[in-house]
Structure 1
Amino acid sequence: MTLSNPVLASAAPPLPRRIRLGGVPVDLHHQDDALSLIRGHTVAEAGRPLGVVSVNLDHLHHFGQGGALNGAFGIREGSRAEVAWLHLIDGAPVAAEARRLTARTWPRLAGSDLIHPLLRNAEADGVSVGFLGGSPQTHRDLPAALAAQHPRLRLAGLWSPSREDLLDDDKSRDLAESIAAAGVDILVVCLGKPRQELWIDRYGAASKARVLLAFGAVADFLAGRVNRCPQWVASHGLEWAWRLAIEPKRLAKRYLVQGPGAYRMLHDERGRDITAPSRVIQAH
């Protein structure tokens, strides 16, 4: 693989400041820093793969303090986890609580906002991208949409496993081996929470991808099958309402039933600073 910017391969990514909100870690970054850190891992030739996760109320519902899956990924008893994790703010309530705790404003870094800059970096660096998850219809439309938006992007493959396959350890390992055989450098994992984080944690290293992005509905956005909300809606923290109006049957439980409990969790489990800067996402 030829690097267009050799400095990225040798420069260590900056250490983040990490806090804990609602019982989950949150790494505080502005967009340029996050993109640089992810890019550094993409072109690194050694070290653990990097998993990138979005922290929002849905994330807290599954993985927060009191959630059924609290501590279910990123932790290994007596040994180092195979995947390093970067936890980025995605959701207005999480951004507001981070601001309250640190007295600084931190941006929302949603996967749908980061994906195009990440794909442009992949084009420039000549690294390959694959997509795991999304419907067959999305996979039908995605290659042409990517070719139009990112004509120099190397698309290594598309995988659309069933939920049953994802629950089967042997089939998931076969899936990871298939991704590895395709030579994927960046794997965009669109399985929805909590499946995407759990799959990355267990099988991400076996896929041989350098970066694994737990980005939910991003494949649908890229393929043009789901429209993103207008910027003024997102800037007022109302993207959830926009998506609920578009997909009420699928999202009503998440936003109207699970969301309020996660919001209470965010404020009942008051955020605290993690004093030592985290080293879990260094490239080497």
Structure 2
Amino acid sequence: MKVPIANVLFDNVTMAQAVDQIVAMSRKRDKARFVCTGNLDHLVMLDRDTEFADVYHCADLVLADGAPVVWLSRLYSGAGGQPIQERVAGSDLFWELAKASHEQGLTLFFLGGVPGVADRAREAVLARYPNAKICGTYCPPFETFKTEEEQARIRETVSAAAPDILMVAFGAPKQEKWIAANRDLIQVPVSIGVGGSFEMAAGQVRRAPVWMRRSGLEWMFRFIQEPGRLYQRYFVNDLPFLAKLIVRTLIARLARKPYRPSGGVSNREAA
């Protein structure tokens, strides 16, 4: 079951179901697959960036990372849609896949993040799950990232490690575009954009208390930690866009018509 939110088809799965699907994909070798974890900030970028939207439309699994996505699905359900069962946060998914590695022997590779943080994330994972299989980490230099030599080095490093699951922390939309462009070259069964998950796992960025996560206030906790960096994202970009989506949904409900995306839909809908 897929739920349309602002021209994106989200998979209506729980965390447990998402982990099961990713583990199942990691066992296959027929093609390279990738997962997107969508939040409100992604929806804003997707509305403006057609290349990013195309990447989402080709994803094999699209998860509702942000609480506003779940809230919008509940509003949409009143206009004939299907609500998303629960939030599947990427930072929580990181730990669930680490646990799966510990229990089932899946191999993981950590790519990206600020210098040194992927190694610290690996240490944090092994401290909690000593049997987890982290087959490699690599942080490409920012200064040379776009060069052909560095891109070749990244592909060679990942391919040589041959992980079952590749976690990419370049930030959105860079990480998703990189995965889409390189997945067939590195031939990793599953790749996932994980944003700041390495920093959170390593303790470099504090995670919001559980009550704030459950109430949808995790963004506020992050803003308090980094107001200068996040003001534009949250208050200039995200909140006005959320208001627009809410109004669009309420109009659809008043008209008693099922919500339909205003633009194209994923080719996964026809699959």
Q: Normalising by the residue count of structure 2, what TM-score does the alignment of the two structures yield?
A: 0.84
Residue 29 (structure 1) aligned with residue 17 (structure 2): no
Residue by residue over 1:27-77, the C-alpha shift from the partner in whole angstroms, topping out at 9 and shown as x without a partner, is 111222111111101122x3222211111111011113x4464534156xx
The aligned counterpart of 2:226 is 247
Paired with 1:129 and 1:233, the residues of 2 have a C-alpha distance of 29
The aligned counterpart of 1:60 is 43
Please report how far the alpha carbon of residue 243 of structure 1 lies from its aligned counterpart in structure 2 after TM superposition.
0.3
Please tell me the root mean square deviation across aligned C-alpha atoms, in Å. Answer: 2.5
Paired with 1:61 and 1:40, the residues of 2 have a C-alpha distance of 31
Structure 2 unaligned blocks of 5 or more:
250-258
Q: Equivalent pairs: percent with the same residue?
A: 29
Residue 272 (structure 1) aligned with residue 260 (structure 2): yes
- Show the 5 A alignment for 1:107-256: 107-256=86-235
Q: How many residues are paired up?
A: 255
The aligned counterpart of 1:88 is 63
Residue 257 (structure 1) aligned with residue 245 (structure 2): no
Runs of 4 or more off by more than 6 Å in structure 1? 273-277
Does the C-alpha gap of structure 1 residues 276 and 164 become closer, same or farther in structure 2, counting only changes over 3 Å?
A: closer
Q: Secondary structure at the match of 1:123?
A: helix
Q: Which has the higher helix share?
A: 2
Does the C-alpha gap of structure 1 residues 248 and 126 become closer, same or farther in structure 2, counting only changes over 3 Å?
A: same
Please report how far the alpha carbon of residue 213 of structure 1 lies from its aligned counterpart in structure 2 after TM superposition.
1.4
The aligned counterpart of 2:256 is none
Does the C-alpha gap of structure 1 residues 276 and 197 become closer, same or farther in structure 2, counting only changes over 3 Å?
A: closer
Residue 50 (structure 1) aligned with residue 29 (structure 2): no
Note if contact 2:116-2:139 (Cα within 8 Å) is conserved in structure 1: no
Please report how far the alpha carbon of residue 200 of structure 1 lies from its aligned counterpart in structure 2 after TM superposition.
0.6
Does the C-alpha gap of structure 1 residues 276 and 158 become closer, same or farther in structure 2, counting only changes over 3 Å?
A: closer
Q: Normalising by the residue count of structure 1, what TM-score does the alignment of the two structures yield?
A: 0.80
Please report how far the alpha carbon of residue 111 of structure 1 lies from its aligned counterpart in structure 2 after TM superposition.
0.8
Letter in 2 for 1:73: V
